[in-house]
Amino acid sequence: MIVMKFGGSSVANADRIRHIAEIVREYRDHRPVVVLSAMGDTTDDLFEAAEQALHGHVVLDKIEKLHLDTVKALEIPHEEVTRRLNELRTLLTGISMLKEITPRSRDYLVSFGERLSVRIFSAYLNTINIRSEFQDSWDIGFISDSNYNNAELLPETYETIRKTLGSYASGKKDDGKAIPVVTGFLALDKKGFITTLGRGGSDLTATVIGASLRAEEVQTWKDVDGILTADPRIVPEAHSVPVATYDEVAELAYFGAQVLHPRSMRPCLQTGTPVRVKNSYNISAPGSIIVTKHTEKVPPVRAITTKQNVTLVDIVSTRMLGQYGFLAKVFEIFAAHEVSVDVVATSEVSVSLTVDEKTEELSSLRRDLAKFAEVTIRKDKAIVTIICDVRRSSQILAQTFKVLALKKINIQMISQGASKVNISMICNSSEAVRVVRLLHQEYFGSDSTVLTNTSGGKK
């Protein structure tokens, strides 16, 4: 069996729904379990509706119109959808009268997005003769703690999913069983209240189902060609990475590449279930597969990413050389101010690190650090990261710096990540795009030399 997850933009309107229904048809023999997000921006719109209700206004027009228009265009029965929309209106009216909302009722409110989308999609599949059944995720076993808005699934979820979907998953090709279409993002707590799994949580729903049922693979369908060698807005000729490891994807996700959140990959990482990122506009392309470790030979450089707008903090100890406890003290202060650090490089008496430029605590942080160190703060920097096999770091660094030196680009700090899959460099924000393009050309361009130079798989 496989799990097929479609995000909000893949179900944004009737046309998109028709399109992905055909994709599901293609994979019908693979016994898919389908997981959906809310249509388009519905989750955001529901949060917005909650805000409006708190100010006494019931604003539901956009959400209602989108769902009713879709029902009409797809020519499916409207009762299920109308009933949910009425329930939603009642809820918003209640909030608007009380002018009060709890985390629990907010989860109940945003759950309508996914609950509506699965009803619509499943009804549509049935009208085109693909037997299907919508499922609110709790009906197949999704049970969580009561940490509303960001709930954690309870371990028994896995076992219950096997009980509820096991026979579908292991069934025979033409046994006529209905394809389950499951709400992403949602669960129920032990008290029976709806919870949500955090923004982007539908991916987690998909990987939990995939891991429970030991799926052949979990497919997450996007509008781009899987994982790319660089952000296509920076490097238009970026192409897809056929195979990446969970570690590499975690680094990419951190740098804002639109892949999967590391949290949502964990269930499949534990069972070794492959996750495949596919392009709904390019169905036959293999996309990118995420695996626990490389077994085939792959080029040493996988992707180049950048994170703009960071601030570089240089901290030089004013105490004696060789004194212990310097780093401990530095990080203690960062922890006390709750400032998260991205990239770090150290020497005996100094440490350089980057923080997000929006960090508000910077001046108080500086004051505390200044008690035992000289502090220089440099703004408008960017991190450029090479996701690569760091066992080849000497070669990669030599090649990288040769290119950058030739173009007179100065790198202000460099750090090789402990995850063994990344080398990060700090440059001026204004130069970041150029650096990414130069390196992409060097490692992936037509005259690249490194691509032919493959490295073995095992770590």
Residues near ligand ASP (CB under 6 A) are 7-8, 37-38, 43, 113, 184-185, 199-202
Among Mg ion, ligand ASP, none, residue 267 binds (CB under 5-8 Å by kind): none
Select from 8, 141, 299, 300 the one that contacts Mg ion (CB under 5 A).
Answer: 8
Distance CA 346, CA 352 (A): 6
Among Mg ion, ligand ASP, none, residue 180 binds (CB under 5-8 Å by kind): none
Give me the least distance between CB of 224 and Mg ion, in Å please.
Answer: 16
| Residue closer to ligand ASP, measured from CB, 32 or 184 | 184
Give me the least distance between CB of 11 and ligand ASP, in Å please.
Answer: 10
Distance CA 249, CA 265 (A): 9
CA distances from 69 to 61, 82, 208, 372, 427 (A): 12, 12, 32, 65, 49
240 near Mg ion (CB under 5 A): no
Burial class (CB in 10 A: 0-12, 13-18, 19+), 19: middle
Give me the least distance between CB of 38 and ligand ASP, in Å please.
Answer: 4
Give me the least distance between CB of 32 and ligand ASP, in Å please.
Answer: 18
CB-nearest residue to Mg ion? 8
Burial class (CB in 10 A: 0-12, 13-18, 19+), 245: buried
Q: Dihedral sign, CA of 294, 298, 299, 302?
A: negative
Give me the least distance between CB of 155 and ligand ASP, in Å please.
Answer: 22
Give me the least distance between CB of 7 and ligand ASP, in Å please.
Answer: 6
| Residue closer to Mg ion, measured from CB, 43 or 354 | 43
| Residue closer to ligand ASP, measured from CB, 43 or 288 | 43
Phi, psi (deg, nearest 5) at residue 308? -85, 170
| Residue closer to ligand ASP, measured from CB, 199 or 437 | 199
264 near Mg ion (CB under 5 A): no
Among Mg ion, ligand ASP, none, residue 185 binds (CB under 5-8 Å by kind): ligand ASP
219 near Mg ion (CB under 5 A): no
300 near Mg ion (CB under 5 A): no
Give me the least distance between CB of 436 and ligand ASP, in Å please.
Answer: 28
Pattern 16-55, Mg ion, x by CB under 5 A:
---------------------x-----x------------
| Direct distance between the N- and C-terminal alpha carbons of the chain, in angstroms, rounded to an integer | 29
| Residue 426 φ/ψ region, left for φ over 0, alpha for ψ in the -120 to 50 degree band, beta for the rest | beta
Give me the least distance between CB of 260 and ligand ASP, in Å please.
Answer: 10
Give me the least distance between CB of 184 and Mg ion, in Å please.
Answer: 8
| Residue closer to ligand ASP, measured from CB, 38 or 365 | 38
Q: Which two tokens stand for residue 334?
A: 């960062």
| Residue closer to ligand ASP, measured from CB, 4 or 38 | 38
Give me the least distance between CB of 239 and ligand ASP, in Å please.
Answer: 26
Among ligand ASP, Mg ion, none, residue 287 binds (CB under 5-8 Å by kind): none
Burial class (CB in 10 A: 0-12, 13-18, 19+), 236: exposed
What 3 state SS string does 150-206 have?
Answer: CCCECCHHHHHHHHHHHHHHCCCCCCCCCEEEEECCEEEECCCCEEECCCCCHHHHH
Distance CA 241, CA 375 (A): 40
Give the range of 1-9, 85-93, 148-156, 276-284 binding Mg ion by CB under 5 A.
Answer: 1-9
| Residue closer to ligand ASP, measured from CB, 119 or 302 | 119
Distance CA 157, CA 349 (A): 50
Distance CA 377, CA 371 (A): 15
Distance CA 44, CA 24 (A): 26
Give me the least distance between CB of 199 and ligand ASP, in Å please.
Answer: 4
Among Mg ion, ligand ASP, none, residue 122 binds (CB under 5-8 Å by kind): none
Q: Is 35 helix (H, G, I), strand (E, B) or coil?
A: strand
Q: Note the Cα 101 to chain centre separation in Å.
A: 28
Among Mg ion, ligand ASP, none, residue 200 binds (CB under 5-8 Å by kind): ligand ASP
Burial class (CB in 10 A: 0-12, 13-18, 19+), 394: exposed
Q: Residue written as tokens 């907010």?
A: 106
| Residue closer to ligand ASP, measured from CB, 36 or 387 | 36
| Residue closer to ligand ASP, measured from CB, 51 or 374 | 51
| Residue closer to ligand ASP, measured from CB, 96 or 264 | 264
| 421: number of Cβ within 10 Å | 25
Interacting residues toward Mg ion by CB under 5 A: 8, 37, 43
